[in-house]
Structure 1
Amino acid sequence: MIEFKNVTAFQQQHQVFDGFSLHIGEQERVAILGPNGAGKSTLLKLVTREIYPVVRDGSHLKLFGDETVNLWALRAKLGFVSQDLQEDYTPYTTGLEVVLSGFFGAIGAHGHLQPTSEQIAKAHAMLEVVEMADYAERMFQRLSTGQKRRLLLARALVHEPRALILDEPANGLDMGASLGMLALMRKFCGQGRGMIVTTHHIDEIIPEIDRVVLIAQGKLVADGPKAEVITSENLSRLYHTPLRITEQGGWYRCWHA
């Protein structure tokens, strides 16, 4: 699905990655864990082509085996939800319009974008999936953070993507909204699809995720099966804080040691 090989990338004038390599296969469910500033969001912006890597011999970034990506085709393969997208969204857009905008890669409603009856029906179906059918006519700005995040998830699902990419999906949500988002993530994984989640909270790593990648300061720190990577020793080193990790029923929790 995604292959970084010796990738170098900048955010404005700051070099985030230098010779970074990572491979994620189709249908894999992966959590990318790291502190703020580790490079998680930059990694996802490279995938979604918001930014591009430095062109160098022996370096490439491939999506589904190709270096050259058609963004329209990519949307049908990868659904994307982020807090940045939520903050950039047009406030006077209705819930239905938010979901419909996923068909056009737009942020908000635009008069020249005319959805078909099939697209409207599909958008209503996705509102049902994320339990937001009653909010189809509500303005985006009047919704809670959790409700907005659900609408963006529905927007990402309209193309029935092969995988979801979620950038800190429960960030800023209260306890109830956070648990609801995690339940929707589990439902998506239950359909045999891939998922990439970036986070700095291990309690956002749902049981269905089986691989964890640790990054810090743009470098790969650890990569492997979840049980082998999420350890007290690894996370204490990652966050420069003595931590104690426990696991119960596939969920992980963290305490100060």
Structure 2
Amino acid sequence: MRFDSQKKLKSWANLKNINVCIDQKEVLSNINISLNHGENTLILGPNGSGKSTFLKLLNRSIHPITSNNSSFKLFNKKNINIWDLRKKIGFLFKEMEQRVNIGVTLYDVIISGFSGTFNSRYSKLLSEREKIKIDNLINEWGLNNIISNEFKSLSDGQKRRALLARALVYEPDILVLDEPFCNLDIKSNFILTRNLSKLIEQSVNIVYVTHNLESILPKTNRVILIKEGKIFKDGSPNELVNSKILSYLFNISINVIEQEGFWRMVPTNN
């Protein structure tokens, strides 16, 4: 049963019979799914299952195999201008950190959300409206004290906050995040969870990948499980985040515990 079968939601991404091959290896197979406004969606699955590839379909850095029976639309369009897409969806991929050159400041990284390039010269071309927007993001993400620091010198948590600020420069309605909580300490994890929860309250929809159940955002209302390149299950957290299903998903016997909207898992003795 489709997760949104009880109420009709407007979709922003529609994938029908989608297959993806990378280096002649099939990574995603027979993907049939819609992503909808009003949903905050967790993508969960083992390493190598195709989660990040699924997200890269959404930012158009990976393209599916085309066939007469397949269809892939974003905002009801088969072809969408990349700049129009960036204004609608903010993206965060961990590999972005590796693309930042030595000497580039945190401020340069954030303003690159407008230009697409990590270059300080663009700061001279910012409009007053864009400068105000950047200043607001710097305040919201607690980056004031380090805004002139070299990006490469920052902690993982600071880098992640900077890249999220970058993803928000166009005030998108949707955020697509690949492993946003990876390698974060307790404080950075808390700050990120708090700020993303605030965005959800402001009607920003979030699609994200995480391996850590403790990092599931409390307002997540949809879970898509991917196993071996296929969608294994699609439903609500209450339906899918449990010991039986996740033990099968990850091929390990685990006990899943939920308390006041937060989750964690521990190995069993089996």
Q: State the TM-score, normalized to the length of structure 1.
A: 0.96
Matched, 1:68 2:88: no
Matched, 1:93 2:104: yes
Residue type at the aligned position of 2:81: N
Q: CA deviation at 1:198?
A: 0.9
Q: CA deviation at 1:112?
A: 6.2
Structure 2 residue 145 is the aligned partner of structure 1 residue 134: yes
Deviation at 1:180, TM superposition (A): 1.4
1:196-228 per-residue CA deviation (whole Å, 9 max, x = no partner) reads 011222111111111111001111111101100
Provide the residue aligned with 2:90 in structure 1: 79
How much has 1:97 moved relative to structure 2?
1.2
- Correspondence list, 1:1-257, <5 A: 1-106=12-117, 108-109=118-119, 111=121, 114-257=125-268
Question: Residue type of the partner of 1:64?
Answer: F
The unaligned stretches of length 5 or more in structure 2 are: 1-11
CA distance in 1, matches of 2:90, 2:254: 33
CA–CA separation in structure 2 for the residues paired with 1:117 and 1:164: 25
Report the count of equivalent residues.
256
Q: Kindly provide the amino acid, as one letter, of the partner of residue 262 in structure 2.
A: W
Structure 1: how far apart are the matches of 2:113 and 2:66? 30
Aligned residue for 1:75, secondary structure, equals: helix
- How large is the Cα RMSD of the aligned pairs? 1.3
For residue 175 of structure 1, report the CA deviation from its aligned partner.
Answer: 1.7
Instruction: Indicate if the aligned counterparts of 1:31 and 1:197 stay in contact, CA closer than 8 A.
Output: yes
Cα deviation, residue 12, structure 1 = 2.7
Q: Distance in 1 between matches of 2:103 and 2:228?
A: 38
Decide whether the 8 Å contact of 2:16 with 2:70 is kept in 1. Answer: yes
Q: In the alignment, is the contact (CA less than 8 A) between 1:127 and 1:154 conserved in 2? A: yes
Q: Which aligned runs of 4 or more in structure 1 are off by greater than 4 angstroms?
A: none
Contact 2:115 / 2:122 at 8 angstroms: preserved in 1?
no
Deviation at residue 111 of structure 1 after TM alignment = 3.5
So what's the TM-score if we normalise by structure 2?
0.91
Q: Distance in 2 between matches of 1:112 and 1:256?
A: 50
| Structure 1, 143-152 or 175-184: larger mean CA deviation | 175-184
CA pair 188-91 structure 1, distance change in 2 beyond 3 A: farther
Shift of 1:50: 0.6
Unaligned ranges ≥5, structure 1: none
